[in-house]
Chains A and B, each alone.
Chain A
Amino acid sequence: MNEPYDIITTIRLTEKATILAEKDNKYVFQVRPHATKTQIRRAIETLYKKTVVSVNTANYAGKKKRERTAAFGQQADWKKAIVTLKKGDKIELA
Protein backbone atom coordinates (compact mmCIF):
# COMPACT_ATOMS: atom_id res chain seq x y z
CA MET A 1 0.00 0.00 0.00
CA ASN A 2 2.92 2.33 0.51
CA GLU A 3 4.41 1.96 -2.95
CA PRO A 4 4.99 5.29 -4.75
CA TYR A 5 2.28 4.58 -7.32
CA ASP A 6 -0.20 3.95 -4.47
CA ILE A 7 0.65 7.25 -2.80
CA ILE A 8 0.39 9.52 -5.88
CA THR A 9 -3.03 9.33 -7.57
CA THR A 10 -2.36 11.80 -10.38
CA ILE A 11 -0.72 15.07 -11.26
CA ARG A 12 -3.19 17.94 -11.26
CA LEU A 13 -3.28 19.77 -14.57
CA THR A 14 -5.04 23.02 -13.93
CA GLU A 15 -4.38 26.66 -14.62
CA LYS A 16 -3.38 27.24 -11.05
CA ALA A 17 -1.02 24.27 -11.01
CA THR A 18 0.56 25.39 -14.28
CA ILE A 19 1.20 28.88 -12.92
CA LEU A 20 2.72 27.45 -9.72
CA ALA A 21 5.01 25.20 -11.73
CA GLU A 22 6.14 27.98 -14.04
CA LYS A 23 6.66 30.62 -11.37
CA ASP A 24 7.68 28.79 -8.21
CA ASN A 25 8.79 25.35 -9.42
CA LYS A 26 5.94 23.87 -7.37
CA TYR A 27 4.03 20.87 -8.65
CA VAL A 28 0.55 19.91 -7.59
CA PHE A 29 -0.47 16.27 -7.13
CA GLN A 30 -3.58 14.49 -6.01
CA VAL A 31 -2.50 11.95 -3.38
CA ARG A 32 -4.03 9.25 -1.16
CA PRO A 33 -5.78 10.99 1.78
CA HIS A 34 -3.75 9.12 4.39
CA ALA A 35 -0.36 9.69 2.78
CA THR A 36 2.12 11.56 4.92
CA LYS A 37 4.39 14.34 3.69
CA THR A 38 7.39 12.03 4.08
CA GLN A 39 5.73 9.34 1.99
CA ILE A 40 4.84 11.89 -0.67
CA ARG A 41 8.38 13.24 -0.78
CA ARG A 42 9.81 9.73 -1.13
CA ALA A 43 7.28 8.84 -3.79
CA ILE A 44 8.03 11.91 -5.91
CA GLU A 45 11.77 11.40 -5.56
CA THR A 46 11.46 7.76 -6.67
CA LEU A 47 8.97 8.30 -9.46
CA TYR A 48 10.43 11.45 -11.03
CA LYS A 49 14.03 11.20 -9.80
CA LYS A 50 13.99 14.83 -8.63
CA THR A 51 14.98 16.42 -5.34
CA VAL A 52 12.07 17.61 -3.23
CA VAL A 53 12.57 20.72 -1.13
CA SER A 54 9.26 20.77 0.69
CA VAL A 55 5.78 19.24 0.68
CA ASN A 56 2.61 21.08 1.63
CA THR A 57 -0.68 19.23 1.85
CA ALA A 58 -4.35 19.99 2.13
CA ASN A 59 -7.33 17.69 2.70
CA TYR A 60 -10.43 18.01 0.60
CA ALA A 61 -13.74 16.50 1.55
CA GLY A 62 -15.51 14.82 -1.37
CA LYS A 63 -18.45 16.75 -2.71
CA LYS A 64 -21.94 15.61 -1.86
CA LYS A 65 -23.68 14.59 -5.04
CA ARG A 66 -27.26 13.61 -5.64
CA GLU A 67 -29.20 12.49 -8.62
CA ARG A 68 -32.75 13.61 -9.20
CA THR A 69 -33.89 10.61 -7.24
CA ALA A 70 -33.47 10.76 -3.49
CA ALA A 71 -30.33 8.58 -3.61
CA PHE A 72 -27.54 10.60 -2.01
CA GLY A 73 -23.92 10.03 -2.71
CA GLN A 74 -20.52 11.48 -2.13
CA GLN A 75 -17.35 11.86 -4.13
CA ALA A 76 -14.26 10.44 -2.47
CA ASP A 77 -12.24 12.62 -0.08
CA TRP A 78 -8.83 13.48 -1.43
CA LYS A 79 -5.60 15.15 -0.49
CA LYS A 80 -3.71 17.73 -2.49
CA ALA A 81 0.05 17.87 -2.23
CA ILE A 82 2.04 20.87 -3.42
CA VAL A 83 5.60 19.71 -3.91
CA THR A 84 8.43 22.26 -4.23
CA LEU A 85 11.38 20.96 -6.22
CA LYS A 86 15.00 21.97 -6.01
CA LYS A 87 15.85 24.90 -8.24
CA GLY A 88 16.62 23.62 -11.74
CA ASP A 89 14.61 20.42 -11.40
CA LYS A 90 11.58 20.19 -13.68
CA ILE A 91 8.73 17.79 -14.24
CA GLU A 92 7.18 17.69 -17.70
CA LEU A 93 3.55 18.61 -17.30
CA ALA A 94 1.18 17.16 -19.85
Chain B
Amino acid sequence: MNVVVENLPNCITTLRIELEPEKVNKAWEAVTADYTRYAKLPGYRPGKAPKAVIEKKFKKQIREELEKKLLSDSCREAISEKKLRVLSLAQIDDVELADDKTMKFTATLVTHPDFELPTYKGLTVEMKSTDVTEAEIDESLENLREQAADFTNITEERGAAMDDYVVVDYTGTIEGKPVHEAFPKAGKPLSGNEDFWIRMTPEAFFPGYAAALVGAKPGETRTFVIDVPEEFPVAGMGGQKIQYVVKLKEIKMKVLPMLDDAFADTVAKGKTLAELRTMAREELARQKKTDAEASKRSAIMTQILEKVECELPVDMVRTQTRRILADIVRENQERGIDDEVLKENEQQILGKASEGAREQLKGTFVLLRIAEAEGIQVTKLEFSHRINQLSQRYQMKPAKLLKELEKRNAIDQITEEILTAKTLEFLASNATVADAPVETPAAE
Protein backbone atom coordinates (compact mmCIF):
# COMPACT_ATOMS: atom_id res chain seq x y z
CA MET B 1 0.00 0.00 0.00
CA ASN B 2 1.33 3.35 -1.06
CA VAL B 3 0.20 6.28 1.14
CA VAL B 4 0.90 9.96 0.57
CA VAL B 5 -0.03 12.23 3.47
CA GLU B 6 -0.78 15.87 2.93
CA ASN B 7 -1.54 18.19 5.83
CA LEU B 8 -3.97 21.01 5.12
CA PRO B 9 -4.94 23.91 7.39
CA ASN B 10 -7.67 23.57 10.01
CA CYS B 11 -6.62 20.08 11.10
CA ILE B 12 -7.53 18.47 7.80
CA THR B 13 -5.31 15.78 6.35
CA THR B 14 -5.68 14.08 3.02
CA LEU B 15 -4.37 10.62 2.32
CA ARG B 16 -3.74 9.58 -1.25
CA ILE B 17 -3.83 5.81 -1.03
CA GLU B 18 -2.86 3.40 -3.78
CA LEU B 19 -3.59 -0.29 -3.32
CA GLU B 20 -1.65 -3.09 -4.98
CA PRO B 21 -3.47 -5.19 -7.61
CA GLU B 22 -2.92 -8.40 -5.60
CA LYS B 23 -4.79 -7.05 -2.65
CA VAL B 24 -7.64 -5.65 -4.74
CA ASN B 25 -7.81 -8.87 -6.74
CA LYS B 26 -8.07 -10.95 -3.62
CA ALA B 27 -10.91 -8.82 -2.29
CA TRP B 28 -12.58 -8.84 -5.72
CA GLU B 29 -12.44 -12.63 -5.84
CA ALA B 30 -13.89 -12.87 -2.37
CA VAL B 31 -16.80 -10.58 -3.20
CA THR B 32 -17.47 -12.35 -6.51
CA ALA B 33 -17.38 -15.72 -4.76
CA ASP B 34 -20.04 -14.45 -2.40
CA TYR B 35 -22.21 -13.38 -5.30
CA THR B 36 -21.63 -16.65 -7.15
CA ARG B 37 -22.84 -18.59 -4.15
CA TYR B 38 -26.15 -16.82 -3.77
CA ALA B 39 -26.99 -15.09 -7.05
CA LYS B 40 -30.07 -16.33 -8.86
CA LEU B 41 -29.73 -16.09 -12.64
CA PRO B 42 -32.16 -17.47 -15.22
CA GLY B 43 -30.74 -20.66 -16.70
CA TYR B 44 -28.57 -21.45 -13.67
CA ARG B 45 -29.22 -22.95 -10.27
CA PRO B 46 -27.90 -20.79 -7.41
CA GLY B 47 -24.16 -21.31 -7.09
CA LYS B 48 -23.78 -22.83 -10.57
CA ALA B 49 -23.35 -19.71 -12.70
CA PRO B 50 -19.83 -19.17 -14.09
CA LYS B 51 -17.74 -16.36 -12.66
CA ALA B 52 -17.64 -14.43 -15.92
CA VAL B 53 -21.44 -14.30 -16.10
CA ILE B 54 -21.72 -13.18 -12.47
CA GLU B 55 -19.06 -10.50 -12.93
CA LYS B 56 -20.79 -9.09 -15.95
CA LYS B 57 -24.24 -9.15 -14.44
CA PHE B 58 -23.29 -7.77 -11.00
CA LYS B 59 -20.30 -5.60 -11.92
CA LYS B 60 -21.70 -2.48 -10.30
CA GLN B 61 -22.74 -4.18 -7.08
CA ILE B 62 -19.46 -6.06 -6.78
CA ARG B 63 -17.55 -2.83 -7.24
CA GLU B 64 -19.59 -1.05 -4.60
CA GLU B 65 -19.13 -3.90 -2.17
CA LEU B 66 -15.42 -4.00 -2.89
CA GLU B 67 -15.08 -0.27 -2.27
CA LYS B 68 -17.02 -0.51 0.95
CA LYS B 69 -14.77 -3.30 2.10
CA LEU B 70 -11.41 -2.01 0.91
CA LEU B 71 -11.73 1.71 1.44
CA SER B 72 -12.49 1.77 5.14
CA ASP B 73 -10.10 -1.10 5.86
CA SER B 74 -7.19 0.40 3.98
CA CYS B 75 -7.92 3.82 5.42
CA ARG B 76 -7.70 2.38 8.91
CA GLU B 77 -4.51 0.59 7.97
CA ALA B 78 -2.97 3.75 6.50
CA ILE B 79 -3.92 5.74 9.58
CA SER B 80 -2.26 3.29 11.93
CA GLU B 81 0.74 3.00 9.61
CA LYS B 82 1.25 6.76 9.54
CA LYS B 83 0.37 7.06 13.24
CA LEU B 84 -2.22 9.78 12.68
CA ARG B 85 -4.51 10.97 15.46
CA VAL B 86 -7.82 10.97 13.70
CA LEU B 87 -11.05 12.52 14.88
CA SER B 88 -13.24 11.53 11.99
CA LEU B 89 -13.16 10.40 8.41
CA ALA B 90 -14.67 13.29 6.51
CA GLN B 91 -14.97 11.81 3.06
CA ILE B 92 -13.53 9.47 0.47
CA ASP B 93 -13.44 10.53 -3.13
CA ASP B 94 -11.64 10.15 -6.46
CA VAL B 95 -11.98 6.38 -6.27
CA GLU B 96 -10.34 4.85 -9.32
CA LEU B 97 -10.37 1.15 -10.05
CA ALA B 98 -8.23 0.44 -13.08
CA ASP B 99 -8.61 -2.64 -15.29
CA ASP B 100 -5.36 -4.02 -13.93
CA LYS B 101 -7.08 -3.91 -10.54
CA THR B 102 -5.01 -1.14 -9.01
CA MET B 103 -7.10 1.07 -6.85
CA LYS B 104 -6.46 4.71 -5.99
CA PHE B 105 -8.47 7.01 -3.77
CA THR B 106 -8.24 10.11 -1.63
CA ALA B 107 -9.42 10.12 1.96
CA THR B 108 -9.98 13.38 3.79
CA LEU B 109 -9.56 13.13 7.53
CA VAL B 110 -10.12 15.51 10.40
CA THR B 111 -7.19 15.06 12.73
CA HIS B 112 -6.26 16.14 16.20
CA PRO B 113 -4.39 19.44 16.13
CA ASP B 114 -0.65 19.20 16.17
CA PHE B 115 1.15 20.90 19.04
CA GLU B 116 4.05 20.48 21.43
CA LEU B 117 2.95 19.26 24.83
CA PRO B 118 4.10 21.76 27.46
CA THR B 119 5.27 20.66 30.90
CA TYR B 120 2.23 19.41 32.67
CA LYS B 121 3.64 17.70 35.72
CA GLY B 122 4.59 19.46 38.92
CA LEU B 123 2.74 22.67 38.12
CA THR B 124 2.30 25.09 40.97
CA VAL B 125 -1.19 26.39 41.51
CA GLU B 126 -2.55 28.74 44.09
CA MET B 127 -5.42 27.52 46.15
CA LYS B 128 -7.75 29.39 48.41
CA SER B 129 -7.76 28.33 52.03
CA THR B 130 -10.52 25.88 52.89
CA ASP B 131 -10.69 26.92 56.55
CA VAL B 132 -14.12 27.99 57.68
CA THR B 133 -14.22 31.13 59.82
CA GLU B 134 -16.77 31.90 62.52
CA ALA B 135 -17.89 34.94 60.53
CA GLU B 136 -18.75 32.73 57.57
CA ILE B 137 -20.80 30.43 59.78
CA ASP B 138 -22.60 33.45 61.19
CA GLU B 139 -23.32 34.66 57.70
CA SER B 140 -24.73 31.34 56.60
CA LEU B 141 -26.97 31.19 59.69
CA GLU B 142 -28.05 34.74 58.94
CA ASN B 143 -29.01 33.62 55.45
CA LEU B 144 -31.07 30.81 56.92
CA ARG B 145 -32.84 33.38 59.13
CA GLU B 146 -33.52 35.55 56.10
CA GLN B 147 -35.03 32.60 54.29
CA ALA B 148 -37.25 31.77 57.27
CA ALA B 149 -38.29 35.42 57.71
CA ASP B 150 -41.95 36.14 58.31
CA PHE B 151 -43.85 39.15 56.98
CA THR B 152 -46.38 40.68 59.35
CA ASN B 153 -48.65 43.70 59.01
CA ILE B 154 -47.32 46.67 60.94
CA THR B 155 -49.18 47.30 64.17
CA GLU B 156 -48.66 51.04 64.65
CA GLU B 157 -50.70 53.64 62.86
CA ARG B 158 -48.31 55.05 60.27
CA GLY B 159 -47.86 55.47 56.57
CA ALA B 160 -45.52 53.40 54.40
CA ALA B 161 -41.83 54.14 54.86
CA MET B 162 -38.77 53.17 52.86
CA ASP B 163 -37.64 49.56 53.46
CA ASP B 164 -41.18 48.45 54.27
CA TYR B 165 -42.93 45.88 52.16
CA VAL B 166 -46.19 47.09 50.68
CA VAL B 167 -49.01 45.18 48.99
CA VAL B 168 -50.65 47.22 46.26
CA ASP B 169 -53.19 47.11 43.42
CA TYR B 170 -52.15 49.38 40.59
CA THR B 171 -52.89 50.37 37.00
CA GLY B 172 -50.41 52.06 34.67
CA THR B 173 -51.37 54.09 31.58
CA ILE B 174 -49.57 56.11 28.93
CA GLU B 175 -51.80 58.91 27.61
CA GLY B 176 -54.87 57.04 28.80
CA LYS B 177 -53.90 53.70 27.23
CA PRO B 178 -52.71 50.69 29.28
CA VAL B 179 -48.92 50.45 28.96
CA HIS B 180 -48.94 47.08 27.22
CA GLU B 181 -51.37 48.35 24.62
CA ALA B 182 -49.25 51.43 23.90
CA PHE B 183 -46.10 49.25 23.81
CA PRO B 184 -47.01 45.62 23.09
CA LYS B 185 -43.51 44.44 23.99
CA ALA B 186 -43.66 45.97 27.44
CA GLY B 187 -45.41 43.09 29.20
CA LYS B 188 -48.70 43.17 31.06
CA PRO B 189 -47.34 43.65 34.61
CA LEU B 190 -46.44 47.25 33.70
CA SER B 191 -50.10 47.99 33.00
CA GLY B 192 -51.55 46.70 36.20
CA ASN B 193 -51.55 44.06 38.88
CA GLU B 194 -53.34 43.09 42.05
CA ASP B 195 -51.93 42.16 45.43
CA PHE B 196 -48.48 43.03 44.19
CA TRP B 197 -45.63 43.03 46.73
CA ILE B 198 -43.07 45.79 46.52
CA ARG B 199 -40.11 46.38 48.76
CA MET B 200 -39.81 50.08 49.26
CA THR B 201 -36.39 50.84 47.83
CA PRO B 202 -35.58 53.87 45.64
CA GLU B 203 -35.10 51.68 42.53
CA ALA B 204 -38.03 49.29 43.12
CA PHE B 205 -40.30 48.82 40.08
CA PHE B 206 -39.41 52.21 38.56
CA PRO B 207 -37.16 54.81 40.15
CA GLY B 208 -39.45 57.11 42.13
CA TYR B 209 -42.30 54.61 42.41
CA ALA B 210 -41.62 53.72 46.03
CA ALA B 211 -40.85 57.34 46.93
CA ALA B 212 -44.30 58.35 45.69
CA LEU B 213 -45.87 55.88 48.12
CA VAL B 214 -44.04 57.11 51.22
CA GLY B 215 -46.56 58.11 53.88
CA ALA B 216 -49.50 56.37 52.24
CA LYS B 217 -51.70 54.48 54.67
CA PRO B 218 -53.55 51.20 53.99
CA GLY B 219 -56.66 51.88 51.94
CA GLU B 220 -55.22 55.09 50.47
CA THR B 221 -55.03 55.53 46.67
CA ARG B 222 -52.31 57.65 45.13
CA THR B 223 -51.92 58.83 41.56
CA PHE B 224 -48.50 59.83 40.27
CA VAL B 225 -46.47 59.99 37.07
CA ILE B 226 -43.25 58.05 36.53
CA ASP B 227 -40.58 58.96 33.99
CA VAL B 228 -39.36 55.80 32.28
CA PRO B 229 -35.54 55.74 32.38
CA GLU B 230 -33.80 56.27 29.03
CA GLU B 231 -32.00 52.91 29.27
CA PHE B 232 -35.26 50.93 29.63
CA PRO B 233 -34.86 47.76 27.46
CA VAL B 234 -38.15 48.07 25.53
CA ALA B 235 -37.41 50.15 22.44
CA GLY B 236 -39.11 53.57 22.39
CA MET B 237 -40.28 53.47 25.98
CA GLY B 238 -37.35 55.43 27.43
CA GLY B 239 -38.47 58.94 28.40
CA GLN B 240 -42.19 58.08 28.32
CA LYS B 241 -44.43 59.12 31.21
CA ILE B 242 -46.56 56.46 32.85
CA GLN B 243 -49.40 57.45 35.08
CA TYR B 244 -49.88 55.02 37.93
CA VAL B 245 -52.95 54.78 40.12
CA VAL B 246 -51.86 52.78 43.13
CA LYS B 247 -54.08 51.54 45.93
CA LEU B 248 -52.03 50.62 48.96
CA LYS B 249 -53.61 47.62 50.68
CA GLU B 250 -51.18 46.54 53.37
CA ILE B 251 -47.88 47.58 54.87
CA LYS B 252 -45.74 44.69 56.04
CA MET B 253 -42.42 44.34 57.77
CA LYS B 254 -39.95 41.56 57.76
CA VAL B 255 -39.57 39.70 61.07
CA LEU B 256 -36.51 37.49 61.36
CA PRO B 257 -36.80 34.46 63.65
CA MET B 258 -34.69 34.40 66.83
CA LEU B 259 -31.48 32.46 66.50
CA ASP B 260 -32.11 29.78 69.13
CA ASP B 261 -32.69 26.04 69.53
CA ALA B 262 -36.31 26.37 68.41
CA PHE B 263 -35.15 27.95 65.13
CA ALA B 264 -32.55 25.20 64.72
CA ASP B 265 -35.32 22.65 65.16
CA THR B 266 -37.38 24.19 62.35
CA VAL B 267 -34.37 24.11 60.00
CA ALA B 268 -33.23 20.58 60.85
CA LYS B 269 -35.58 18.47 62.93
CA GLY B 270 -34.31 17.65 66.41
CA LYS B 271 -31.12 19.74 66.20
CA THR B 272 -29.94 22.32 68.68
CA LEU B 273 -28.36 25.62 67.69
CA ALA B 274 -24.89 24.30 68.49
CA GLU B 275 -25.50 21.29 66.27
CA LEU B 276 -26.81 23.55 63.52
CA ARG B 277 -23.57 25.54 63.72
CA THR B 278 -21.58 22.34 63.34
CA MET B 279 -23.71 21.33 60.35
CA ALA B 280 -23.19 24.74 58.78
CA ARG B 281 -19.45 24.47 59.37
CA GLU B 282 -19.32 21.04 57.73
CA GLU B 283 -21.42 22.18 54.79
CA LEU B 284 -19.25 25.27 54.29
CA ALA B 285 -16.08 23.21 54.55
CA ARG B 286 -17.43 20.78 51.97
CA GLN B 287 -18.42 23.59 49.63
CA LYS B 288 -15.08 25.32 49.99
CA LYS B 289 -13.25 22.09 49.33
CA THR B 290 -15.25 21.41 46.17
CA ASP B 291 -14.75 25.00 45.01
CA ALA B 292 -11.04 24.83 45.74
CA GLU B 293 -10.68 21.55 43.87
CA ALA B 294 -12.55 22.98 40.89
CA SER B 295 -10.49 26.15 40.85
CA LYS B 296 -7.32 24.09 41.21
CA ARG B 297 -8.26 22.14 38.11
CA SER B 298 -9.21 25.22 36.17
CA ALA B 299 -5.95 26.91 37.21
CA ILE B 300 -4.00 23.91 35.96
CA MET B 301 -5.87 23.99 32.66
CA THR B 302 -5.31 27.73 32.28
CA GLN B 303 -1.61 27.30 32.88
CA ILE B 304 -1.31 24.51 30.33
CA LEU B 305 -3.55 26.10 27.73
CA GLU B 306 -1.61 29.35 27.89
CA LYS B 307 1.40 27.50 26.54
CA VAL B 308 -0.44 25.68 23.77
CA GLU B 309 -1.11 27.32 20.44
CA CYS B 310 -2.84 25.24 17.82
CA GLU B 311 -5.36 25.25 15.04
CA LEU B 312 -8.70 23.63 15.74
CA PRO B 313 -11.00 21.70 13.41
CA VAL B 314 -13.48 24.25 12.11
CA ASP B 315 -16.45 21.91 12.08
CA MET B 316 -15.95 20.89 15.66
CA VAL B 317 -15.58 24.49 16.78
CA ARG B 318 -18.80 25.29 14.96
CA THR B 319 -20.72 22.42 16.53
CA GLN B 320 -19.42 23.21 19.98
CA THR B 321 -20.19 26.92 19.55
CA ARG B 322 -23.73 26.03 18.58
CA ARG B 323 -24.07 23.86 21.66
CA ILE B 324 -22.78 26.57 23.99
CA LEU B 325 -24.93 29.15 22.26
CA ALA B 326 -28.03 27.02 22.80
CA ASP B 327 -27.09 26.72 26.48
CA ILE B 328 -26.62 30.48 26.87
CA VAL B 329 -29.93 31.22 25.17
CA ARG B 330 -31.78 28.64 27.24
CA GLU B 331 -30.24 29.92 30.46
CA ASN B 332 -31.22 33.49 29.64
CA GLN B 333 -34.72 32.49 28.65
CA GLU B 334 -35.10 30.68 31.96
CA ARG B 335 -34.00 33.86 33.69
CA GLY B 336 -36.79 35.64 31.84
CA ILE B 337 -34.63 37.73 29.52
CA ASP B 338 -36.49 38.78 26.43
CA ASP B 339 -35.50 37.37 23.03
CA GLU B 340 -35.17 40.94 21.74
CA VAL B 341 -32.44 41.70 24.24
CA LEU B 342 -30.65 38.50 23.29
CA LYS B 343 -30.88 39.42 19.64
CA GLU B 344 -29.39 42.84 20.30
CA ASN B 345 -26.40 41.26 22.02
CA GLU B 346 -26.13 38.51 19.42
CA GLN B 347 -22.59 39.37 18.32
CA GLN B 348 -21.31 39.56 21.87
CA ILE B 349 -22.94 36.25 22.85
CA LEU B 350 -21.68 34.61 19.69
CA GLY B 351 -18.14 35.80 20.37
CA LYS B 352 -18.31 34.50 23.90
CA ALA B 353 -19.67 31.15 22.79
CA SER B 354 -17.06 30.73 20.08
CA GLU B 355 -14.23 31.61 22.46
CA GLY B 356 -15.63 29.19 25.04
CA ALA B 357 -15.89 26.47 22.41
CA ARG B 358 -12.27 26.97 21.33
CA GLU B 359 -11.03 26.81 24.91
CA GLN B 360 -13.05 23.68 25.64
CA LEU B 361 -11.88 21.89 22.53
CA LYS B 362 -8.29 22.88 23.08
CA GLY B 363 -8.54 21.63 26.65
CA THR B 364 -9.95 18.31 25.50
CA PHE B 365 -7.22 17.83 22.90
CA VAL B 366 -4.47 18.67 25.36
CA LEU B 367 -5.89 16.31 27.97
CA LEU B 368 -6.21 13.51 25.43
CA ARG B 369 -2.61 14.02 24.37
CA ILE B 370 -1.48 13.91 27.98
CA ALA B 371 -3.53 10.76 28.52
CA GLU B 372 -1.79 9.23 25.51
CA ALA B 373 1.64 10.27 26.75
CA GLU B 374 0.97 8.93 30.24
CA GLY B 375 -0.79 5.79 29.08
CA ILE B 376 -3.95 6.69 30.93
CA GLN B 377 -6.82 4.53 29.80
CA VAL B 378 -10.45 4.00 30.60
CA THR B 379 -11.11 0.65 32.23
CA LYS B 380 -14.25 -1.36 31.59
CA LEU B 381 -15.23 -0.90 35.21
CA GLU B 382 -15.03 2.88 34.97
CA PHE B 383 -17.09 2.82 31.82
CA SER B 384 -19.82 0.66 33.28
CA HIS B 385 -19.77 2.80 36.41
CA ARG B 386 -20.39 5.87 34.28
CA ILE B 387 -23.13 4.11 32.34
CA ASN B 388 -24.77 3.21 35.64
CA GLN B 389 -24.61 6.83 36.75
CA LEU B 390 -26.15 8.00 33.50
CA SER B 391 -28.83 5.35 33.57
CA GLN B 392 -29.85 6.55 37.02
CA ARG B 393 -29.88 10.13 35.86
CA TYR B 394 -32.02 9.43 32.81
CA GLN B 395 -33.99 6.68 34.57
CA MET B 396 -33.30 4.11 31.89
CA LYS B 397 -32.07 0.57 32.15
CA PRO B 398 -28.28 0.46 31.52
CA ALA B 399 -28.64 -1.96 28.61
CA LYS B 400 -31.23 0.23 26.94
CA LEU B 401 -29.15 3.36 27.52
CA LEU B 402 -26.12 1.64 26.04
CA LYS B 403 -28.11 0.73 22.96
CA GLU B 404 -29.38 4.28 22.63
CA LEU B 405 -25.86 5.65 22.97
CA GLU B 406 -24.59 3.25 20.34
CA LYS B 407 -27.33 4.40 18.02
CA ARG B 408 -26.25 8.00 18.48
CA ASN B 409 -22.54 7.17 18.21
CA ALA B 410 -22.02 8.64 21.65
CA ILE B 411 -19.99 5.83 23.19
CA ASP B 412 -16.70 7.41 22.16
CA GLN B 413 -17.79 10.70 23.58
CA ILE B 414 -18.48 9.15 26.96
CA THR B 415 -15.16 7.34 26.96
CA GLU B 416 -13.50 10.63 26.08
CA GLU B 417 -15.27 12.37 28.96
CA ILE B 418 -14.09 9.75 31.44
CA LEU B 419 -10.59 9.91 30.02
CA THR B 420 -10.32 13.69 30.22
CA ALA B 421 -11.69 13.70 33.77
CA LYS B 422 -9.18 11.02 34.73
CA THR B 423 -6.32 12.93 33.13
CA LEU B 424 -7.33 16.11 34.91
CA GLU B 425 -7.36 14.15 38.15
CA PHE B 426 -3.86 12.94 37.33
CA LEU B 427 -2.69 16.50 36.67
CA ALA B 428 -4.26 17.72 39.89
CA SER B 429 -2.56 15.01 41.91
CA ASN B 430 0.76 15.95 40.28
CA ALA B 431 0.45 19.66 40.92
CA THR B 432 1.97 21.50 43.86
CA VAL B 433 -0.37 23.68 45.85
CA ALA B 434 0.60 27.10 47.10
CA ASP B 435 -1.70 29.07 49.36
CA ALA B 436 -3.25 31.98 47.58
CA PRO B 437 -3.10 35.41 49.17
CA VAL B 438 -6.32 35.84 51.16
CA GLU B 439 -7.68 38.78 49.19
CA THR B 440 -7.01 37.67 45.63
CA PRO B 441 -8.90 34.62 44.42
CA ALA B 442 -6.99 31.81 42.77
CA ALA B 443 -6.49 32.13 39.03
CA GLU B 444 -9.72 31.25 37.27
Residues of A within 8 A of B56 (CB): 94
Task: Determine whether the beta carbon of B44 is less than 8 Å from that of A93.
Answer: no
Residue on B with the closest CB to A13?
B43
| Contact B53–A13 (Cβ < 8 Å) | yes
CB proximity to B under 8 Å, residues A10-69: 12-15, 17-18
Count A-side interface residues using an 8 Å CB cutoff.
Answer: 9
- Whether A94 contacts B55 in the complex (CB less than 8 A), given A15-B48, A18-B50, comes out as yes
Interface residues of B in 218-275 (CB under 8 A from A): none
B residues within 8 A CB of A3?
A: none
Contact pick for A93, options B45, B48, B52, CB 8 Å: B52
CA distance A12 to B44 in the complex (A): 11
B44 touches A94 (CB 8 A): no
By beta carbon, the residue of chain B nearest A18 is B50
Q: Check A93–B43 contact: CB distance below 8 A.
A: no
What size tier do the contact residues of chain B reach?
10 to 19
* Chain A nearest Cβ from B316, distance in angstroms: 49
Interface residues of B: mostly helix, strand, loop or mixed? loop
How far, in angstroms, from A87 to B45 measured CA to CA in the complex?
A: 29
Specify which of B43, B56, B57 lies most central, judged by the most chain A CB atoms within 10 Å of its CB.
Answer: B43
Interface residue SS majority, chain A: loop
Q: Determine the distance from Cα of A17 to Cα of B52 in the docked complex, in whole angstroms.
A: 14
**A12: nearest chain-B partner, CB-CB:** B43
Q: B47-84: which have CB < 8 Å to A?
A: 48-50, 52-53, 55-57
Contact in complex: B43, A15 (CB < 8 Å): yes
Q: How far is the CA of A12 from the CA of B48 in the complex (A)?
A: 15
A93 to B41, CA, bound (A): 14
Q: Which residues of B have CB within 8 Å of A17?
A: 43
A94–B53 CB distance below 8 A: yes
B384-414 contacts to A (CB < 8 Å): none
Q: Which residues of A contact B (CB under 8 A)?
A: 12-15, 17-18, 92-94
A–B complex contacts, Cβ < 8 Å, 16 sampled: A13-B41, A13-B53, A14-B44, A15-B43, A15-B44, A15-B45, A15-B48, A15-B49, A17-B43, A18-B53, A93-B52, A93-B53, A94-B52, A94-B53, A94-B55, A94-B57
